Structure 1
Amino acid sequence: MAHSHGHTPAAWTGVIIAFIGFCTGSVFMVMPSPVGVAASLVLILAGAVVGGIMRAAGLGQKSKGLTKDQLQAHTQKFTQAQAQKQSAAPQTAEAHS
């Protein structure tokens, strides 16, 4: 099953804004500028806020996991595979006695 792993406009926008905030914060940290560092921290938080707003607007990941039917089908396949594995396993305890 393919998932987007965060490859959405909301995720990309939030990460890019936060990345710019980290880069500018690093520069302002080296050039001792407390105001610049504070502005960079605000920019990092703005990235999270903008990403969250975009996600709420429908530009984020559509689904957070399996639907009820998909989960039931997955569980059924897993149970069948386990039953087949157990029936195909050699009976080592009986062979040694």
Structure 2
Amino acid sequence: MAHSHGHTPAAWTGVIIAFVGFCVGSVFTVMAKPAGVIAGLVLLAVAAVVGGIMSAAGLGQKKSKGLTAEQARAHREAHQARHPERRDGEQRTHAQAHS
């Protein structure tokens, strides 16, 4: 399964609310108005809560437990195709294989 890299309704909503919170907090910091700064911080907390609730409701990225058996097989075959000299069974770490 391809990862969406955060392109989900939960992520977008959380980021937009957080952005507004940062903007509000920044403006009121410059204006030296503590109540506005606190409002911005509250919006940041709201962003985390709303994003978390939306994610729990199924609007976030699906959790992955690593590669499926088919993905692991495809990765192994692609790696062997790129490095045919390593088919002799020589064991290397994954990082060494990709260096």
CA deviation vs aligned residue, 1:28-83 (integer Å, no higher than 9, x gap): 10111112111211111211121111111100112435323212321232123211
| Alignment partner, residue 31 of structure 1 | 31
TM-score by length of 1: 0.74
Ranges of 4+ aligned residues in structure 1 off by more than 6 Å: none
Give, as a single letter, the amino acid of the residue that structure 2 aligns with 1:28: F
Percent identity, please: 65
CA distance in 2, matches of 1:60, 1:68: 24
Matched ranges for 1:82-93 at <5 A:
82-83=83-84, 86=85
Compared with structure 1, are the counterparts of its residues 63 and 75 closer, same or farther at alpha carbon in structure 2 (3 Å cutoff)? farther
TM-score by length of 2: 0.73
| Alignment partner, residue 15 of structure 1 | 15
Unaligned runs of 5+ residues in structure 1 are 88-97
* Larger helix proportion of the pair: 1
CA distance in 2, matches of 1:38, 1:55: 26
Number of aligned residue pairs: 85
The alignment's C-alpha RMSD in Å is: 2.1
| Alignment partner, residue 74 of structure 1 | 75
